[in-house]
Amino acid sequence: LHSYANPDNERKALEIVAEQMPEAYVTLSSKLLPQVRFYNRISTTVLNSYVGPILRDYLLSLIKKLDAANFKGVLLIMQSNGGVTSPQVAMEMAASTLLSGPAAGPIAGIAYTSIQGYEDCITVDMGGTSFDAALVKEREPLLITDGNINRHLIAMPILGIHTIGAGGGSIGWIDDGGLLHVGPQSAGANPGPACYSLGGTEPTCTDSDLVLGYLNPDFFLGGKIKLDVNAAEHAIKEHIAKPLGLSLTEAAAGMYHLINVSMASGIKEVSIQRGFDPRDFPLVVAGGAGPIHAGMIALELEIGLIIIPKESSIFCAAGMLLSDLKHDFVRTYHGVLHTLSHERFTSLFKKMEDEGYSVLRKENITEERIKFIYSCDLRYTGQYHEVNVEVKKEEILTWDIPGILERFHKDHDRLYGYRLDDTPVETVNLRVSAIGVTDKPKFTEEGYAGEDPGGALKGERSIFLPNEKEFVSVNVYDGHNLKHGNRIPGPAIIEQIQTTIFVPPEYHVVLDRYGSYTMALNEAKGAVTCPEI
């Protein structure tokens, strides 16, 4: 029950198990998560022990195969805190990898917006089954310590990513009350959307995108996959249009609108619900399906600037290459802040710092590449939930309680709309993140080629404009032939092998020097201004 304070019993149990069952995978809660709250700690420990043996066997097999192939590189494993780690640490701290896939997205978002001069951004990733949204503030993704995995609580630090069932395979359906929905059910990749001709019969988001003209049936994956327009039309007619008494266009447009509203609501969860105005952030859009919907989502939220990286369809993979090594440590030290022992306060931080230093040195990180982030879980006396507040090393050493308290009051006010300056503040946990800075791939810059995109013009296509509620013939451009500085006014379509971009009439697109698309409102709104291209 109190192993976070005294781990002797757990350690003795480990000795006994190791002697009787040396092959067993064992997790000590006192090592994995030495913090107060028994259920949170045990739930996380159980998750770690459930995933650990599977991950261990997989990584050992992978390492063996890499050795046989004479691999000379360094194998690193993505974690859900936005950092990478060695396979050895990942095997032991397996629960830290449970939400690691989408965690690389915000890291990539930081890189792509930083080179444009922005410190904040909202990242979204729309693939085949889900839509992931995250917020970055001052080049740091927001973290939470109370996530859930299929209803099981995990108390390790994870990026605050909000996921909804909205992707290219999301199925359109009608409930018993006659209301149209899109998702969270998904057709997946197989049988997939009806237009894939793999046996799928239910209408999906991709089918509606095709019927509305956004997708080119002859250029999906560069033409390697031919989409069946008739199958998409039939699915929407039979399952949506006829039951609701709508035309084919009305049904497809309704599906397109609903999924866009759902994704806009997902962005509100990571912004407005946490005290941030989404209009003050550039929107970084990723995923193969994301760029078709990005403009209308941003318009719904009055976001003035959208950045679509050239690697949008492999955004999280790119993010992994841009991630630093990262290890999180926690210790419980509960009490009213100004009554705590400064000596114990600093010694706990120092112990965690030493642990982080030791792990990173074992991962061959040199001293000059090691840095630490310090924070406290704070709350007003009488509250149950805490606010994690970053503290500076100088504040810890000089015992600058007023500085720590002021930051807590501000964060609490932003999150909950009030502050209680005269109410005592207590600390629950102290935290240290140990970071090993890695070498990053360099962004290549292209020379300016002028505004005229004529060299990339492929032709015209009739597409549906949601706000005008009509089909209009628009220019279609080959994204692979666009050059730095090329400017495309909306409405327009930009096609690439891995994605398609719909530029609404309210926006225009400029290809920046890094090969990414900057989509800006013609009439700027919010606090974000277009970067210098």
Residues 172-201: tens digit of each pLDDT: 999 999 999 998 999 988 899 999 999 999
Which are the contacts of 88, defined by CB distance < 8 A and separation ≥ 6? none
Given a cut of 80, is residue 120 above it in pLDDT? yes
Residues 250 and 332 in one domain: no
Last residue of a domain, one of 32, 51, 75: 75
Distances (CA, A) of 517 to 113, 162, 500, 502: 12, 24, 12, 12
Q: What are phi and psi of 411, to 5 degrees?
A: -65, -40
pLDDT tens-digit series, residues 305-327? 999 998 888 899 999 999 999 99
Residues 354 and 254 in one domain: no
Burial of 19 (0-12, 13-18, 19+ CB in 10 A): exposed
Distances (CA, A) of 95 to 51, 156, 157: 7, 8, 10
pLDDT tens-digit series, residues 343-386? 999 999 999 999 999 999 999 999 999 999 999 999 999 998 99
Residue 409 lies in a domain: yes
Distances (CA, A) of 79 to 98, 122, 266: 7, 20, 23
Furthest CA-CA distance within the chain: 74
Structural tokens at position 389: 């507040």
Residue 221 lies in a domain: yes
Last residue of a domain, one of 409, 436, 463: 436
Q: What CA–CA distance (Å, rounded) separates 10 from 278?
A: 46
CA angle (42 as vertex; 41, 48 as ends), nearest 5: 95
- Region of residue 485 (phi > 0: left; psi between -120 and 50: alpha; otherwise: beta): left
Given a cut of 60, is residue 285 above it in pLDDT? yes
Which are the contacts of 500, defined by CB distance < 8 A and separation ≥ 6? 214, 215, 216, 291, 292, 493, 494
- Of all residues in the chain, the percent with pLDDT exceeding 70 is 98
Last residue of a domain, one of 419, 436, 453: 436
Mean pLDDT of 214-228: 92
Residue 506 lies in a domain: no
Residue 296 lies in a domain: no
Q: How many domains does the chain have?
A: 3
Residue 246 lies in a domain: yes
pLDDT tens-digit series, residues 73-107? 999 999 999 999 999 999 999 999 998 989 999 99
pLDDT tens-digit series, residues 387-410? 999 999 999 999 999 999 999 999
User: Amino acid identity, residue 407?
Assistant: R
Residues 343 and 430 in one domain: yes
Residue 227 lies in a domain: yes
Residue 202 lies in a domain: yes
Residues 254 and 357 in one domain: no
**Residue 2 pLDDT:** 80
pLDDT tens-digit series, residues 435-444? 999 998 888 8
Residues 340 and 421 in one domain: yes
Q: How far is CA 283 from the centre of its chain?
A: 12
**Residue 190 pLDDT:** 86
Confidence of residue 525 (pLDDT cuts 50, 70, 90): low
Residues 235 and 335 in one domain: no
Domain enclosing residue 405, as ranges: 325-436
**Residue 121 pLDDT:** 96
**Residue 230 pLDDT:** 97
Residue 240 lies in a domain: yes
Considering the chain, what is the average pLDDT of its residues? 93
How much is the pTM? Answer: 0.89
User: Amino acid identity, residue 145?
Assistant: T
Residues 341 and 423 in one domain: yes
Can you say whether the dihedral through the CA atoms of 269, 273, 274, 280 is positive or negative? positive
SS3 of residue 99 by DSSP: coil
**Residue 265 pLDDT:** 96
Q: What CA–CA distance (Å, rounded) separates 199 from 190?
A: 8
